[in-house]
Chains A and B, each alone.
Chain A
Amino acid sequence: MNLSLTDPFVLAQDYPESTTGSLRSGHATCVRFNRKGDFLAAGRVDGTVVIFDVETNGVARKLKGHTRQVQSLSWSRDGRYLLTASQDWKCNIWDLDGGRIVRSVRFEAPVYIAELHPWNHLMFVVSLFEDQPLLVDASGPKVIKSNLPSAPKRNKYDEDEPISDKQAAQDAKQTTTVAVFTASGEHILSGTNKGWLNIIEVSTRTTIYSTKICTGVVIFLRLTGSGRDVVVNAQDRIIRTIQLPNLSAADLDPDTIDIEIEHKFQDVVNKLSWNHVAFSSTGEYVTASTYNNHDIYIWERNHGSLVKILEGPKEEHGIVEWHPHRPLIAACGLESGRIHIWSIMPSQRWSALAPDFVEVEENVEYIEHEDEFDIHPQEEIHKRRLDLEDEEVDVLTVEPVKGEIVDEEGISAFRMPVQLDLIDSESEEEFVAVGRGEMRRKSPSGQGVDYGLGEDGVGGSDVEGKKKVKSRRR
């Protein structure tokens, strides 16, 4: 509800400008925002998943269950469940209400990426290393894993005659590197190591459409919030955006699907390749982290031009994510494991501090009002003032606020419980509180640092007050 008070120039700015902070808890390798944008999940090298509260920049929850580096994260629509895939060949579905594992599924190969079904938090698709992708349905007591095809669908006229040996051999070598659900959840988009994009129907688990979009490996696919656009990161150093046809249309004929590449983003000068790509909240912008380089690139999709190169901490970034409705980008530093944040820091308008002052562009000759210095009796003024208060006020009706996410029907608003006793479970943090808002790097000796609050014995009996606090200064 702060939008009505915020400077419109700030609101008009829809991509971040500069680094505004960083988050740290261990060495994070991947991050993902939930749909509401109030939490950021981060997977660490040690297999722990940390949920950061975006409002406080503090740790809201820690999920311990994986033993190896976390590979990918996927939130359920309501933000209650989180699917994590790890290098320990397992995927876990967590219930954030209690922080427990709801389902744990083991695979025969390392998992590249696992994506939750948009409407069913117990169904997901995984792309495995050198193996067929799987559709996993964990709704029942027994987890059902079904194979999905990797081989592209050949054109119709090919089907009449047997596929040539050469082609068959090629198809056999196709493996899926990335698979995601479409917005409706009825189809899966998958990318293969030969540069093919497949559309797979979930109900029949058959490929209904294939197209070769690039020459190299398809590294990553990501849909916009609306599900109408896809961004493709490929080995050939080109980022492509694609507009998806409406796959849920009743009269959809797979043969008429025509997928065209909308934009190709690349750095022709430096020939950079891209570690990771993401859409902005509305899909208007595409951002990417660069390989062997420190910068984060932002392109806009309208004209397909580069609008910003974000500079920041001098390290290469892995996964980059855009906040679901704010101009805020989070990226994982590969070396430090820190999560760096870029956003907009508006400057304080001083006129907000003194209501009788206004900020003017240039000097204005002040013209005094006719009655400006008239003296009215106090009671007169007061009465007039009270009489003016004839406007209707409504203090009860809650109006939908622009920019606020209204939960759809059927999804009860999930609110993650606030854990106030996290403090004690923390030991590996590098910063400790030393009084009011002061943090200091934990000395190597760790314990025994005296940071009493002062002489006056405030809360003197509370030795616990000296406990380590596990957050860091921003």
Chain B
Amino acid sequence: MSDFDSAASTPVPSVHRPPKRRRVYDDSEASTPRYSSPDELGDHKPHRSSKLKTRQDLGSRRRSHSSDGSVDELDHTYHGRNRSRSSSIDSHRSSHSSPDAPSPPVYKPLKLNYKQKFILKGHRKGVAQVRFSPDGRWIASCSADSTIKIWDAETGKHMRTLEGHLAGVSTIAWSPDSNTIASGSDDKTIRLWHRATGKPYPAPLLGHHNYVYSLAFSPKGNMLVSGSYDEAVFLWDLRARRLMRSLPAHSDPVGGVDFIRDGTLVCSCSTDGLTRVWDTATGQCLRTLVHEDNAPVTTVRFSPNGRYILAFTLDSCIRLWDYVSGTCKKTYQGHVNNKYSLGGAFGVGGTEGFIVSGSEDGDLVFWDVKTKDMVQKVSGHEGVVLWVDTSPSVSGKVVSGGLDGTVRIWVDVNEDVNGVKAEPVDADATEDEPMEEARAEIGEERNTPREASVVRELGRNQELEPSPEPMDED
């Protein structure tokens, strides 16, 4: 299969490229008018090292997975017709971004300067999701190695490993009281775990016919919503571990689910390109959001105040929807997302809201919610950053998990200027302690579990990626 075919005729996820970097700087890429530079600037060399220039190269890196410079011409023609579900719809705008390139965005109240603080090692395969507990004290991470690990958010200390799933764990969720973790796995089960003891509750939730891919607790903690590869969305009564309601949700694997702040609505999204909003009480669909391009939606999240839905799509866009009017209010671009179902979160920097997401090129990308400007882009992970979460506590911490099997904690150094001095990223120094912990852990769990089948890779073809990358150590 040639690049040619795959880029042009099949939906994105099937592209048969090695997932790892094939950085191509074609000049037709600059796509985000507000902050992209003339492409000539962007395409000469990677500007990785220089923070200032990250914006310029982001545009040009965008499409690196799906196409080559050489097919770019063809790409144009094909996309004209075959635009649905194409990832690079925005890649054809080459000219009009140049004028505003020299002038930086005028208004920029939000300043972020996130630096890596801890690297938490221990997972032996890609980390699919990382989540802060609602009280901000813990971080849970789940991995294709079929374990869930709990870490202390403050010190990065490894607290516990939860074992019991028979296949990779794609999703985790914290109960609102931070005492219970729910996990969804490729073994089709959902398990509940005591945070404190690390023990599972006796009865797992059975019912899904395929990989469980996304979970969310209701704000009261009495219900759980799950999305699965079997295209269904289930609502569970947690006290009775009973399937309460099955929502005839989608015609493709369900990528993400979320509960609204007051628990009255549930949203779900799917690779069929639809995001649906459901009434929790009646189980009826109240609204469907669909973008013209129909790009596969892999993750959805309600905004903290519940007025908007953030949808991550496989066309390297994150869209903010007003679900009441059914219109897309903002599109955030600048990261790479063509293949994996990445996740991100809302955060608060000062008084302004930001959005953070992972990127397939190993970066964490931060946007100002209001201006759509990319305010920071920071690299660290070796390989795809699958999930990013923000701490609910005032610390403003961010945690990320990636295909390289690491979990990384980031702190905003900006805020620490007048307070505690955060040490600049010194990976070796900072990772030492947690690493030791984690290594000890690995010693115990030598017997390898089964291969995980899906690591947050949401494609319409369920073709397995060749194991993405060997982990750097172990």
| B192 beta carbon closer than 8 Å to chain A | yes
Looking at A190-198, A205-213, A418-426, the stretch in contact with chain B turns out to be: A418-426
Q: How far is the CB of B464 from chain A (nearest CB, A)?
A: 19
Of residues 20 through 68 on chain A, the ones whose CB sits less than 8 Å from some CB of chain B are 38, 53, 55-60
Chain B residues near A458 (CB, 8 Å)? Answer: 187-189, 206
Bound-complex Cα distance A355 to B306 (A): 20
Of residues 282 through 316 on chain B, the ones whose CB sits less than 8 Å from some CB of chain A are 282, 284-290, 303-308
Looking at B18-26, B63-71, B102-110, B322-330, the stretch in contact with chain A turns out to be: B322-330
| A254 beta carbon closer than 8 Å to chain B | no
Flag if B222 contacts A56 (CB, 8 Å): yes
Flag if A396 contacts B348 (CB, 8 Å): yes
| A391 beta carbon closer than 8 Å to chain B | yes
Can you report 22 residue pairs joining A to B where beta carbons are below 8 Å apart? A1-B261, A2-B260, A53-B222, A53-B239, A55-B220, A56-B238, A58-B237, A60-B239, A345-B282, A346-B284, A348-B285, A352-B285, A356-B290, A389-B329, A389-B372, A393-B329, A395-B304, A423-B239, A423-B241, A436-B246, A459-B166, A462-B204
Flag if B287 contacts A352 (CB, 8 Å): yes
| A397 beta carbon closer than 8 Å to chain B | yes
Of residues 337 through 355 on chain A, the ones whose CB sits less than 8 Å from some CB of chain B are 345-346, 348-349, 352-355
| A362 beta carbon closer than 8 Å to chain B | no
**Given A355-B289, A422-B239, A436-B243, 11 other A-B residues pairs in contact with their CB atoms under 8 A:** A2-B279, A53-B237, A56-B237, A385-B328, A389-B329, A396-B303, A401-B262, A420-B238, A458-B187, A459-B189, A464-B202
Bound-complex Cα distance A149 to B89 (A): 81
Flag if B242 contacts A433 (CB, 8 Å): yes
Q: Please encode chain A, from 447 to 459, with 1 for each CB lying within 8 Å of some chain B CB and 0 for all others.
A: 0000001000011
| B346 beta carbon closer than 8 Å to chain A | yes
Q: How far is the CB of B74 from chain A (nearest CB, A)?
A: 15
A1-B261, A378-B79 known; A6+B286 contact, CB < 8 A: yes
A418-B221, A420-B201 known; A348+B284 contact, CB < 8 A: yes
Bound-complex Cα distance A234 to B213 (A): 58
Q: Please encode chain A, from 68 to 111, with 1 for each CB lying within 8 Å of some chain B CB and 0 for all others.
A: 00000000000000000000000000000000000000000000
CB < 8 Å neighbour of B330 from A58, A393, A397 = A393
Chain A residues near B320 (CB, 8 Å)? Answer: 393, 395
Chain A interface main SS type = loop
Q: How far is the CB of A253 from chain B (nearest CB, A)?
A: 45
Q: How far is the CB of A456 from chain B (nearest CB, A)?
A: 8
Bound-complex Cα distance A453 to B218 (A): 27
Bound-complex Cα distance A378 to B206 (A): 45
Q: Please encode chain B, from 172 to 199, with 1 for each CB lying within 8 Å of some chain A CB and 0 for all others.
A: 0001010010000001110010000000
Chain B residues near A1 (CB, 8 Å)? Answer: 260-262, 264-265, 306
Flag if A464 contacts B203 (CB, 8 Å): yes
Flag if A354 contacts B89 (CB, 8 Å): no
Chain B residues near A354 (CB, 8 Å)? Answer: 288
Bound-complex Cα distance A396 to B392 (A): 13
Q: B-contacting residues of A (Cβ < 8 Å)?
A: 1-2, 4-6, 38, 53, 55-60, 345-346, 348-349, 352-356, 377-379, 382-383, 385-387, 389, 391-399, 401, 404, 415, 417-424, 433, 435-437, 453, 458-462, 464-465, 467, 469-471
| B51 beta carbon closer than 8 Å to chain A | no
A55-B223, A379-B96 known; A421+B201 contact, CB < 8 A: yes
Chain A residues near B89 (CB, 8 Å)? Answer: 378, 382
Q: How far is the CB of A91 from chain B (nearest CB, A)?
A: 27
| B277 beta carbon closer than 8 Å to chain A | yes
Bound-complex Cα distance A458 to B186 (A): 10
Bound-complex Cα distance A382 to B284 (A): 33
